[in-house]
């Protein structure tokens, strides 16, 4: 007996077939439409292929992800740049004294101030700066040299029944182990021993502390805080380790011989005692710059009081207080101020002396830098600085 399909079954299969076709690829104008005239006609605009839709979706994801990735990267770079600029403006750069981080700690060999770095000056370029109140540094002498400064300052104190020279700004800052010998003389001897080794390749004593410029002398400014006549002989006595090795700049029979260390006395240093030996001396005076002014426009020297007694045979610096001699600088230097600076520099240089202004403004930084640049442009020989990092970052 044959079987017949139920009409509803055929209709259902047809509908299912048509529905299935509506979700599959249907060529526009293809033959399938002709073969099945009862099939539902599909608008070509509605024939969106699922595979293509998925491809476009992933392409959108990739594009969006790339844009976000580039945005994040650009943001990171911008933040890094802003932080770098901020660090520079506010002085938050890496501390160059980090290499001295273990100075004085137990077990480092520095408890008695006997540890000295060997490589920290290898690539340091000397710059014309003087470390004012150098004993305030994290590591006296070494911090200044590592910044490139060619000059340092030690305030020394002598007390009755004690031959030591103590170093500090005032009596309250003095301690038994911070002495002229321990902070300056011995470290300089140690450094110069290392730069002047006795080997089969080298057997001389002519090199200074800077590898970059071995001819550069280190200027040791000794500021006497106690009675000059009593204190000065002790300064000369404690310089013997440098003197005996031939490392002190000296005046000998009318000739100045520059060596690795140049000692300059200031403060209560007595000029007559320093110069009493007319044929030999290995320490020089810090002469008064204010007394040396000469007309900057005149072709011949201007007579001055007693300033003629200072010359390169007995003095090294010619110094004065910037605040006292020049005054306050706000928007810029006045013509009168510039004329004063030019006249003082002219008089000092004619005597063979190096010009140093101390008590220059330290803030605002913009004005400080303007003063520094102007002084160097006008011919000053060294900057008296408290901010070693600031001085070492600028070009002079």
DSSP 118: S
Give the pLDDT score at 40: 52
Stated pTM of the model: 0.73
Task: Please name which of 296, 217, 234, 223 lies closest in space to residue 264, comparing C-alpha atoms.
Answer: 223
DSSP, residue by residue, 31-64: HHHHH-TTSPP--GGG---HHHHHHHHHHHHHHH
Residue extents of the structural domains in the chain:
31-93, 104-393
Give residue 143's pLDDT: 92
Categorize the per-residue pLDDT at 291 as very low, low, confident or very high, splitting at 50, 70 and 90.
very high
Q: CA nearest 144: which of 188, 206, 94, 178?
A: 188
Judge contact between 349 and 107, C-beta under 8 A: no
Q: Cis peptide before 337, with omega less than 30 degrees from 0?
A: no
104-393, CATH topology level: TIM Barrel (3.20.20)
59-63, 99-103, 217-221, 233-237: least confidently modelled range: 99-103
Q: Give percent of the chain above pLDDT 90.
A: 57
Structure tokens at 141: 């002498």
**What mean pLDDT comes out for the span 371-396?**
90
pLDDT score at 109 = 63
Strands 250-252 and 280-281: antiparallel
With CA atoms as reference, report the closest residue to 188 among 223, 230, 151: 151
| pLDDT over threshold 70, residue 346 | yes
What are 315's strand-pairing partners?
A: 285
Confidence of residue 262 (pLDDT cuts 50, 70, 90): very high
Specify the pLDDT at position 66: 82
Q: Is 353 in contact with 321 (CB distance < 8 Å)?
A: no
Element (H, E) at 166: strand 166-167
Crossing angle (nearest 10°) for helices 335-350 and 365-378: 50
Q: What is the mean pLDDT of residues 254-268?
A: 97
pLDDT grade for 95, boundaries at 50, 70 and 90: low
* C-alpha 202: how far from chain center: 32
Specify the residue for token string 């540890």.
Answer: 115
Check residue 110 and give its pLDDT. 64
CA triple 225-163-257, angle to 5 deg: 70
Could you read off the pLDDT of 48-85 as tens digits, one per residue? 556 666 667 777 777 887 888 888 988 898 888 887 76
Percent of all residues in the chain with a pLDDT value above 70, rounded to a whole number: 77
Tokens, residue 362: 């330290």
Is there a contact between 39 and 18 (Cβ–Cβ < 8 Å)?
A: yes
pLDDT score at 30: 46
């Amino acid at each position: 007996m044959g079987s017949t399909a139920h009409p509803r079954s055929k209709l259902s299969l047809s509908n299912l077939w048509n529905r299935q076709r509506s979700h599959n690829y249907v060529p526009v104008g293809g033959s399938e439409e002709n073969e099945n005239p009862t099939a539902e006609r599909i608008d070509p605009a509605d024939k969106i292929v699922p595979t293509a839709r998925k491809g476009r979706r992933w392409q959108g994801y990739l594009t969006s992800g790339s844009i976000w990735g580039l945005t994040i990267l650009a943001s990171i770079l911008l933040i890094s740049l802003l932080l770098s600029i901020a660090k520079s403006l506010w002085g938050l750069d890496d501390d160059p004294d980090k290499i001295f981080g273990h100075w004085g700690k137990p077990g480092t060999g520095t408890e008695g101030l006997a540890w000295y770095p060997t490589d920290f000056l290898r690539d340091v370029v000397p710059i014309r700066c003087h470390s004012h109140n150098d004993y305030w540094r994290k590591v006296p002498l070494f911090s200044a040299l590592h910044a490139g400064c060619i000059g340092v300052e030690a305030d020394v104190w002598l007390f009755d029944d004690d031959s030591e020279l103590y170093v500090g700004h005032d009596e309250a800052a003095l301690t038994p182990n911070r002495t002229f010998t321990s902070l300056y003389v011995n470290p300089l001897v140690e450094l110069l021993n290392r730069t002047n080794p006795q080997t089969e390749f080298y057997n001389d004593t002519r090199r200074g502390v800077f590898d970059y410029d071995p001819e550069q002398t280190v200027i040791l400014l000794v500021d006497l805080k106690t009675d000059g006549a009593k204190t000065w002989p002790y300064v000369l006595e404690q310089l013997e380790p440098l003197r005996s090795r031939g490392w002190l700049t000296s005046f000998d029979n009318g000739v100045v011989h520059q060596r690795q260390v140049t000692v300059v006395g200031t403060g209560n240093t007595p000029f007559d005692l320093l110069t009493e030996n007319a044929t030999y001396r290995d320490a020089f005076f810090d002469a008064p710059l204010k007394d040396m002014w000469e007309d900057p426009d005149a072709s011949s020297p201007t007579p001055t009081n007693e300033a003629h007694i200072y010359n390169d045979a007995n003095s090294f610096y010619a110094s004065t207080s910037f605040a006292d001699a020049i005054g306050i600088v706000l928007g810029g230097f006045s013509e009168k101020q510039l004329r004063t600076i030019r006249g003082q520099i002219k008089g000092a240089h004619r005597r063979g002396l190096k010009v140093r202004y101390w008590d220059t403004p330290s803030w605002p930084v913009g004005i400080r830098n303007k003063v520094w640049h102007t002084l160097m442009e006008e011919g000053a020989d060294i900057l008296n600085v408290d901010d070693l990092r600031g001085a070492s970052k600028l070009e002079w």
